[in-house]
Amino acid sequence: MEKQIAIELKNICKYFPGKVVANKNVNLTLYKGEILSLLGENGSGKTTLMNMISGIYFPDEGQIFINGEEAVIRSPKDAYNYKIGMIHQHFKLVDVFSAAENIVLGVKEAGRFSKKKIAMRVREIAERYGFDIDPKKRIHEMSVSEKQTVEIIKVLYRGADILILDEPTAVLTPQEIEKLFAVLRKMREDGKSIIIITHKLNEVMEISDRVSILRKGEYIGTVETSKTNPKQLTEMMVGKKTDLKIERVKTDFEKPLLEIRDIVIDKDDGSRAIDDVSFYIRGGEILGVAGVAGCGQKELCEAIAGLRPIKSGLVMHKGENIIGLPPKKIIEKGVSMSFIPEDRLGMGLAPSFSITDNMIIKNYGEGKGPFVNRKAARAHAKALIEKLEIVTPSTETPVRRLSGGNVQKVLVGREIEAGPNVIITAYPVRGLDINSSYLIYDILNDQKKKGTGILFIGEDLDVMLALCDKIMVICHGKNMGVVHAEKTTKEELGLMMTGALDLTEEKKDKNFGIAKDSNLTEEEWQEMEEETNNENHGKESKGNE
């Protein structure tokens, strides 16, 4: 029997300002009544592609066919008319509304607006697919998984036959994932077509009929799940190893500078970001952190910098506990953190401030007297502009007016110039051109030579393999193991990132992330841990602060 096509994408291209290619010549076919996994590394253009089907973006080139006819999708409303619905990673829900109210929001229906009728229809949908939902419950009282359920029902209520789920499992517990998969299977039986974006290979193997792979915005191919294996998929996803001419500086490793034990951190929405992770950074060492986006990297950075509370665990800097210290004290100890978010502005920079003023965000208070020393800051800014070839009209230009790459150079440059002993940097080359990227790698290597300990959170595995000494892989907040960059392969990293390989399980005898020459003895660690745990309990019983 010939399978009917639900959606067909032909030669879809999408470019973003600054000559960034998000998608290039992507072809994709989704059949009716199937679950298709969309697989790809960070920045491979999966979400952008799906946003074009759901009407958030409009493709620059190419065509979309729905049920054999060409479709023009200019808004989410158009997408609904084509019976397409997308469940985004960031839920678009009104917090104080009930589930039912969110579900019917914006739906044009004939007849009287009756809450009873709506609740009935919601229950009907819920029963049909096995959702567990209380239509009267308000969003702000819900768990993440319940919110996701509301989003899915919202889409079904609008009569969607094609559902797109952007990393739906990232925020769920294993039990919740099982429930979700059961629902998805029921939908498939019901004739719905589903595209699911995920990074976890075991889930891909479990739920999907076919897998399509994207890499760096390009379409690589599609395979049937039953005829493939995780190894093949990983290879398609990460590609062949490309040799980069990044020098790995040899240094004599020093004692651990930063030691982190059993750290647990929560996200803003209360779900777990980092779950019981231990690692350490030596002076003169670059430790890479690999993992798919949103695996707790941001929360880890914030927690070390003192901007986010730590649920449990220890962060020791040169043998001293820095948990609970105000951000300023942590900066003074020489721990620098720079995180480049997706929009590149945000953490660490004040958008309306000039480059000069941004130079002194951490040390404006230095020097005597009530005045800020702008003279020194200006000289500092000038030097940085020259050194990093920052394109700007002047030192007094607000950073929000600079292009993304230049904003980043300001931030990373400032952090490194401050002369820290530990650098935590996340995505420092995000969106930079090749030359600027190499400039940043050189700067990091220089620091390494000086004996600085560096935690490098990155996206590009090739870069990490070339630059880092060791690489720690995180998958959904859990440590999958630490490997030597010289001894590992891209495939191994890929398998670990997607949760298909867990070295901590396989090599139980090895204590990942615990230094043999720690600044503290095991007994001291024990003691510290007990102490902080007691403190934490004390805090919790006092209630929220």
The edge-to-edge listing of strands for the beta sheet with 453-457 is: 335-339, 422-426, 453-457, 285-290, 470-475, 478-484
Pick the closer one to other proteins by CB: 20 or 94.
94
- Least Å distance between CB 325 and other proteins? 10
Pick the closer one to other proteins by CB: 349 or 497.
349
- Least Å distance between CB 2 and other proteins? 18
| 107, 109, 111, 112 alpha-carbon torsion, rounded to 10° | 0
Pick the closer one to other proteins by CB: 101 or 167.
101
Cβ atoms of 49 and 66 within 8 Å: the answer is no
CA-CA distance, 187 to 192, in Å (whole number)? 5
Pick the closer one to other proteins by CB: 8 or 460.
8
- Least Å distance between CB 390 and other proteins? 17
Pick the closer one to other proteins by CB: 206 or 342.
342
Cβ atoms of 89 and 164 within 8 Å: the answer is no
Pick the closer one to other proteins by CB: 157 or 456.
157
Pick the closer one to other proteins by CB: 104 or 520.
104
Q: Which residues, other chains included, contact 225 with Cβ-Cβ below 8 Å and sequence gap of 6+?
A: 37, 204, 205, 208, 209, 210, 211
- Least Å distance between CB 82 and other proteins? 13
> What sign does the dihedral 295-526-284-310 (CA atoms) show?
positive
- Least Å distance between CB 7 and other proteins? 16
> What amino acid is encoded at 421 in this protein?
N
Backbone dihedral region of 431: left (phi > 0), alpha (psi from -120 to 50 degrees) or beta? left
CA-CA distance, 397 to 400, in Å (whole number)? 8
Pick the closer one to other proteins by CB: 33 or 334.
334
Q: Closest Cα partner for 77 from 47, 46, 106, 118?
A: 106
Three-class HEC string of 299-359 = HHHHHHCCCCCCCEEEEEECCEECCCCCHHHHHHCCEEEEECCCCCCCCCCCCCCEHHHHH
- Least Å distance between CB 113 and other proteins? 4
Q: Which residues, other chains included, contact 148 with Cβ-Cβ below 8 Å and sequence gap of 6+?
A: 87, 91, 168, 171, 172, 180
- Least Å distance between CB 531 and other proteins? 26
Q: Which residues, other chains included, contact 202 with Cβ-Cβ below 8 Å and sequence gap of 6+?
A: 230, 498, 499, 500
- Least Å distance between CB 519 and other proteins? 25
CA-CA distance, 421 to 418, in Å (whole number)? 10
Q: For residue 223, list its beta bridge partners.
A: 211
Retrieve residue 474's tokens.
């995180």
Interface contacts to other proteins, rule CB under 8 A: 63, 69-70, 72, 74-77, 80, 92-97, 101, 104-107, 113, 115, 138, 140, 305, 307, 326-329, 331, 337, 346-353, 357, 360-362, 364-365, 370-372, 374, 401
CA-CA distance, 134 to 146, in Å (whole number)? 9
Pick the closer one to other proteins by CB: 138 or 179.
138
Pick the closer one to other proteins by CB: 188 or 344.
344
CA-CA distance, 464 to 187, in Å (whole number)? 40
- Least Å distance between CB 228 and other proteins? 33
- Least Å distance between CB 103 and other proteins? 10
Retrieve residue 398's tokens.
């607000």
- Least Å distance between CB 348 and other proteins? 6
Pick the closer one to other proteins by CB: 80 or 456.
80
- Least Å distance between CB 272 and other proteins? 22
- In our burial notation (b when 16+ CB lie closer than 10 A, e otherwise), range 121-159 reads bbbebbeebebebbbeeebeebebbbbbbbbbbbbbbbe
- H runs (alpha helix) in 54-114: 76-81, 99-104
- Least Å distance between CB 105 and other proteins? 5
Cβ atoms of 118 and 104 within 8 Å: the answer is yes
Q: Are strands 285-290 and 470-475 parallel, antiparallel or unpaired?
A: parallel
Pick the closer one to other proteins by CB: 256 or 306.
306
Cβ atoms of 365 and 354 within 8 Å: the answer is no
Pick the closer one to other proteins by CB: 72 or 120.
72
Cβ atoms of 67 and 17 within 8 Å: the answer is no
